[in-house]
Amino acid sequence: MINKKVQNVEEALQGVEDGMTIMLGGFGLCGIPENSINELVKKGITNLTCISNNAGVDDFGLGLLLQKKQIKKMISSYVGENAEFERQMLSGELEVELTPQGTLAEKCRAAQAGIPAFYTPAGYGTEVAEGKESREWNGKMHILEEAYKADFAIVKAWKGDEAGNLIFKGTARNFNSCMAGAATITVAEVEELVPAGELDPNEIHIPGIFVKRIFKGEQYEKRIEQRTVRKK
């Protein structure tokens, strides 16, 4: 067993520097690497390019990094939940690359799988296609999209073991699963970290080969963005 366990978030994020490109898992606030985001805020790393489907809300998730102006460029598909984000973007302080969600996911998976580029129909005939090669396949127009290149991928899982194997829960899997192994260094934070051998190999969602460092997150707030319920 190759041991991927590190003691804490400080050790897990060693080597993160100003100006780096970082992938962060999560959809909305669901499945975001809370402990690592807090550490990036604490470390005061700046000029970051962040690849993340959303940008958090004003006071949680990536919104915390935006507040401190630590992000230079955001690559996302939907940013409607964050007023500070919209302000920085419309004023030109923040560079933003909006990408169709499926394309964003596939650009991560392509990086993970060693595929440099792929064709997709998403965005053909729109602003997204500007400056990109287009080509007809099976009678339909597609555009060429390239895999991301990132320094760090930071993902969050439900359970993990010392070998770096990951299991996700519910819809918190989202981009975490696509980003694992898609950057030079992948850091996984988990709610529960167990010794190798305790997770059933049949149940692993992401094999440890895609993970460089794994640690147990100290605490999880798991904030709910839209609490929708019905009466009993």
Partner 1 sequence: MLDKEGIAKRIAKEVKDGYYVNLGIGIPTLVANFVRDDISVEFQSENGVLGMGPFPFEGEEDADIINAGKQTITTLPGASFFDSATSFGMIRGQHVDLTILGAMEVAENGDIANWKIPGKMVKGMGGAMDLVASAENIIVAMMHVNKAGESKLLKRCTLPLTGVGCVKKVVTELAVLEIVPEGFKLLERAPGVTVEEIQKATEGNLIIEGDIPEMAI
Which two three-digit tokens encode residue 184? 């030079």
Question: Are 131 and 162 contacting, i.e. CB atoms less than 8 angstroms apart?
Answer: no
Q: How many residues bind partner 1 (CB under 8 A)?
A: 59
Instruction: Map tokens 């051998």 to a residue.
Output: 197
Confirm or reject binding of residue 52 to partner 1 (CB under 8 A). Answer: no
Confirm or reject binding of residue 91 to partner 1 (CB under 8 A). Answer: no
**DSSP, residue by residue, 122-143:** TTTTSGGGTTS-EEEETTEEEE
Confirm or reject binding of residue 226 to partner 1 (CB under 8 A). Answer: yes
Minimum separation from the CB atom of position 49 to partner 1 (A): 17
Confirm or reject binding of residue 201 to partner 1 (CB under 8 A). Answer: no
**What is the C-alpha separation between 228 and 152, in angstroms, rounded?**
34
Instruction: Select from 117, 113, 106 the least CA-distant residue to 207.
Output: 113
Confirm or reject binding of residue 202 to partner 1 (CB under 8 A). Answer: no
Query: What does the per-residue mask of binding to partner 1 show for 138-157, with x meaning CB under 8 A?
Result: --------------------
Amino acid at 4: K
**What is the C-alpha separation between 200 and 61, in angstroms, rounded?**
31
Residue number with CB closer to partner 1 (78 or 132): 78
Minimum separation from the CB atom of position 5 to partner 1 (A): 23
**What is the C-alpha separation between 150 and 49, in angstroms, rounded?**
9
Confirm or reject binding of residue 176 to partner 1 (CB under 8 A). Answer: yes
Residue number with CB closer to partner 1 (109 or 213): 109
Question: Looking at 12, 22, 27, 193, which residue binds partner 1 (CB under 8 A)?
Answer: 27
Residues 6+ apart with CB under 8 A from 117: 110, 144, 145, 146, 147
Residue number with CB closer to partner 1 (152 or 175): 175
Rg (CA), the chain: 18
Q: Which part of the chain contacts partner 1 (CB under 8 A), choosing from 1-9, 35-43, 62-70, 98-106?
A: 98-106
What are the residues binding partner 1 (CB under 8 A)?
27-31, 53, 76-81, 86, 89-90, 96, 98, 100-106, 108-109, 120-128, 158, 168-178, 205, 222-232
